[in-house]
A = this chain, B = another copy of it.
Amino acid sequence: MESREIRLKSGATGLPTAANFETGTVTVAAPGAGEVQVRNRWMSVDPYMRGRMYTERASYIPPFQVGEPLQGHAVGEVVASNDPDFAPGDLVSSMFGWREAFTMSGKALQKLPRLPGVPDQAYLGVLGMPGLTAYAGLLEIGQPKPRDTVFVSGGAGAVGSVVAQIAKVKGCTVVATAGSDAKCDWLRSVGIDHAINYKTGNLLAAVQAAVPGGIDIYFDNVGGEHLEVAIEVARQGARFAECGMISAYNATEPVPGPRNLIMVVGKSLKIQGFIVSNYAHLQPQFMTDMGGWIAAGQIKWEETVEDGIDRAPHAFLGLFSGANTGKMLVRL
């Protein structure tokens, strides 16, 4: 079986471009003992992958290797199996990412249930890594209580849209930002109290107008001005779940931190960064809770889909211009 794959052609400083990627084709071997051959149906592109394109920089996750296919979450179907735990037609998730097909040890795969009302690609979004990220960061770090006020940046993204809706499930008032009026309309359509287009007008003034009493929780996907605004409007003892700072991912110079960080002392703020793997132990409870909320119509989602592996770099780059509403996906 032939498989096209997207390889890292060069590390990126500043905003990545299509020139950082190249397409290659390999022959996928038949499965050996304990191995499984998989044809990917959907692959994920996520903001955190940007960090792995700094090929010289140590991080919590190793950089991508030049000349190698990029890694990432994918959902596919078993084609052939020499592992008794998998049979042709099984739906599986993997971390082998930007390729059409592969053969790997069955131990590296996770079998997925086919649930009514749950499309396969939901395991890359609301029921996958972005969903668990939202769930764990909001609940474990944010510790929301009914009537708390929750501020979410990137509120129409794969993670932020789930944070905003879980906060509503928990009885909170939610103010979310997004980069277009259409995204704000979508947020309002799923019951978010206040949606702010951060590209128009003064962000601090808009947040203060929406929630004059301030915020108890900030879920940060953006950093930069959003973080400074959140510190400014934070109530005593507010909790900040630092999930990402996409505004700084492509910076070529060090980005100064918020000018009001000193308020962390007087307001007794907790600013806590996290990565989803810290909370892998929550996976079973997450699947139970999220499955229930989806079935009850309490969590909805949007997708933005590109077709064909050739479009994967385009899909990825679109994350940095806000081309996606909800989860950005590539259908293979």
Q: Which residues of B contact A262 (CB under 8 A)?
A: 223, 245, 248, 255
B258 and A269 form a contact (CB under 8 A)? no
Q: A34: CB under 8 A from chain B?
A: no
Asked whether, in the complex, the Cβ of B259 is within 8 Å of the Cβ of A60, the reply is no
- Whether, in the assembled complex, A119 has its beta carbon less than 8 Å from a beta carbon of chain B, the answer is no
- Say yes or no: is A243 at the interface (Cβ < 8 Å to chain B): yes
A275 at the B interface (CB under 8 A) = yes
Task: State the CA gap A196–B274 with chains docked (Å).
Answer: 31
Which residues 212-258 of A sit at the B interface, judged by CB distance below 8 A?
Answer: 223, 236, 242-245, 248, 254-258
Contact (Cβ within 8 A) A275 B271: no
Q: A145 an interface residue at 8 Å Cβ cutoff?
A: no
A15 interface contact, C-beta 8 A: no
A269 close to B265 (CB less than 8 A): no
A67: interface (CB < 8 Å) = no
B255/A259 in contact, CB under 8 A: yes
Taking a contact as CB atoms under 8 Å apart, the answer to whether A268 and B259 are in contact is no
A51 adjacent to B245 (CB under 8 Å): no
Indicate whether A285 reaches chain B with its CB closer than 8 angstroms. Answer: no
Which chain A residues numbered 43 to 68 have a C-beta less than 8 Å away from chain B? Answer: 51, 59-61
Whether A257 contacts B256 by the Cβ 8 Å rule is yes
Answer whether residue A305 sits at the interface, using C-beta atoms and an 8 A cutoff.
Answer: no
Contact of A259 among B51, B254, B263, B270 (CB under 8 A): B254
Q: Does A292 contact B (CB under 8 A)?
A: no
A267 to B242, CA, bound (A): 11
In the complex, the chain B residue whose C-beta lies closest to that of A227 is: B261
Seen from chain A, the residues whose Cβ lies within 8 Å of a Cβ on chain B are: 51, 59-61, 223, 236, 242-245, 248, 254-275, 278
Sample 21 A-B pairs with CB under 8 A, ordered by A number.
A51-B266, A60-B236, A60-B266, A60-B267, A242-B264, A242-B265, A243-B265, A248-B262, A256-B257, A257-B257, A257-B259, A258-B261, A261-B261, A264-B272, A264-B273, A265-B275, A266-B275, A267-B273, A269-B272, A270-B272, A270-B273
